[in-house]
Each structure stands twice: as C-alpha cells, then as structure tokens.
Amino acid sequence: MKRVVVGILLGLALAGWGALSRLPNGAPAASASPPQRIVSLAPSLTEILFALGLGNRVVGVTDFCDYPEAARRRPKVGGYVTPSLEAIVGLKPQLVVAVPDVTNRALLERLSQLEIQVLRHEARGLPDIWSTIEAIGRTTGTQPQAQRLVAEMRERMERVREQTRRAPQVRVLFVFAYDPLVVAGGGTFFDELIRLAGGTNVAGDSRVRYPKYSLEEVLRRDPQVILLPGRHGVSADLLPAQDSAQPWQRWPGISAVRQGRIYTVNDTALIRPGPRLIQGLELLARLLHPELWGQGRRKDP
C-alpha cells in the first residue's frame, strides 16, 4: 500500500526555484538559449513537457513517467523518491525539472552545484498548475504554447463550474491509503476539484492536507461518494469498486455504501497536477452528477 501512496502523491508538488537566476520581482529569468536536453523527475512535469511539444528534448524520466506513450521509451533515471544522480548527470541535461521533496533536496542541490539548471515548483491548487506550465514555457522558449494550453484548461474548467453551479453538493471522501486511513483534506487540489465538480469534501475542514481518519469520523461525516485508490493507469475511468469496496460493506449506514457509490480511481488524470487534470475533473463531475449529462439521476438516501 505504501507504493500506492507514493504513486498518488508523487505529482503533488512543483514549487520553488532551484538554480535559475531571478528577476527583481522574484520571477525566474528567461534563458538566453532554451535548453535542448531536459530530464524530468515527476510524471506531472513529464506530461507538461510533452504537452508543450518538448518531447524531442526530453532525454530522461523517472520509472513512474508513463504518459504519453512516448515517455515510456525515454531513458530512466530511477524512481520518484530515489532518482540516480549518476544517471541524471550521465544524460548531460541542460535543465532538470523536479518537485520539491525532503527526499530529493540534497540531489537537487548537488545538480545546482554542477551548474545544471534546476526548475522546481509546487502545485497545491489549479492556479499553481497554471503558473507551473507558464514557467516551463518561459524557461524552454515555448511561452505561446504554454499560454494556449493554460487558456484551454481554464476554459474547460469554467464549463464544468458553470454546469455544476446550481447542482446540489454531493459529500465526497477521497481515500489515499488504508491502515491508517489517509484522506484528502483541505488545501489540496483534490479538495478544489471536488468543489468544482459539484461536491463537498467531507474532510475539507481539516488543517492537515492529508489527515488520518477514523471509521467513526467517516460515519459521522457520512459521505455520499467514496473514491478509493486503484491500480493507476492512463485509461480514463472511475470504475465501480469491487474487491476494494468489500470492507466498506460492513457499514451500510454510510450513504455511499448504501447507494453503491464507491469508486476506484484508475485514471492518473485525476491525481496528477498536469494537463490531463481537467479531463479528470470532467470525469469526476459526471460521476457526482450523472443527471447533468443525461445519464439519469441518482436518488439521495
């Protein structure tokens, strides 16, 4: 299960700036010559690079970078938590894009000491994702493409927001791991996605971003929809849970159990802060409010 947690959380952050020079206002200065050899240390960043048409410049990725298909064929530099400094340096990158994490801090500092440009950024909400895409665009000389991508994502987000604006809010519990039960709290982009999709995060009032939850708390919050971690792939689906839902059947007092609204998240689009996140939002909105898309209305308990 620990691997599942890593798989879900590995794309959550894209923040700070490493070895980039800065302008007086704190923004990174654009490179005189855009980098031609790029190593990505996070799946979400890999997806952004390819979406900006930079796939031919990507010379290395992590073991978890599985989208688009072309990313699978790039040389691997190790896992998200334990990338290999030797493998990265051996690829002679001009730019390394990474996520800030206590496990890779020393590695990123070492890359900076080797005068390799390092770009880091944290995404805790959709505006952070926009700024990440735009920052990569500025750094790589693809600013027009980045602006178009952000504009398209914002437009699709607003369409979902408008579609669900007057719909009754559905109580949602987004589960990340068991033993202990870890859920999405407030201050996460999952919380933001749930709200945009016409739901309310039952753990949204938590000051901890990923709090541990007791069964008693779940019963008290009574979610109408429960989302469970699945075997993440790139197929766009939120499937009715089967085996993973069985333990929940012991508590029919929970609305989601009683109504059969427990789903397995098998689509990485919903858990990676990258270009496909809006696709994940659209899927979530259809799941919470199928009646808005002509799929029939679910009866509330």
* Predicted local confidence at residue 265, as pLDDT: 83
- pLDDT at position 259 over 60: yes
Tens of pLDDT, residues 190-199: 999 999 999 9
The Cα 206–Cα 198 span in angstroms is 19
Angle between helices 189-196 and 126-140 (to 10 degrees): 110
Residues of the chain with CATH 3.40.50.1980: 2-154, 167-293
Alpha carbons within 13 angstroms on the beta-carbon side of residue 172 total 29
* Predicted local confidence at residue 100, as pLDDT: 82
- The enclosing H or E element of 253 equals none
Q: What is the DSSP letter of 17?
A: B
* Predicted local confidence at residue 241, as pLDDT: 53
Q: What is the DSSP letter of 272?
A: S
Residue whose tokens read 């709200």:
195
- pLDDT at position 296 over 80: no
Cα 126 off chain centre by? 10
CATH classification for the domain delimited by 2-154, as one of 3.40.50.300, 3.40.50.1980, 3.90.76.10, 1.10.1740.10: 3.40.50.1980
Higher pLDDT, 32 or 175: 175
pLDDT more than 70, % of the chain: 82
Cα 43 off chain centre by? 9
Tens of pLDDT, residues 19-49: 333 323 334 444 568 999 999 999 999 999 9
Strands (E) located in the chain: 38-40, 58-60, 95-98, 117-120, 170-177, 181-183, 199-201, 212-213, 225-233, 238-240, 262-267
Tens of pLDDT, residues 187-220: 888 999 999 999 999 999 998 999 999 999 999 9
The Cα 278–Cα 280 span in angstroms is 5
Please enumerate in sequence order all residues whose Cβ is within 8 A of that of 6, keeping only pairs 6 or more positions apart, or say none: 80, 81
Residue whose tokens read 């730019």:
95
Model-level pTM? 0.84
Q: How many Cβ atoms are within 10 Å of 89's Cβ, its own excluded?
A: 16
Q: What is the DSSP letter of 30?
A: P
* Predicted local confidence at residue 245, as pLDDT: 65
Query: Where does residue 13 rank: exposed (0-12), middle (13-18), buried (19+ CB within 10 A)?
Result: buried
Architecture of domain 167-293: 3-Layer(aba) Sandwich (3.40)
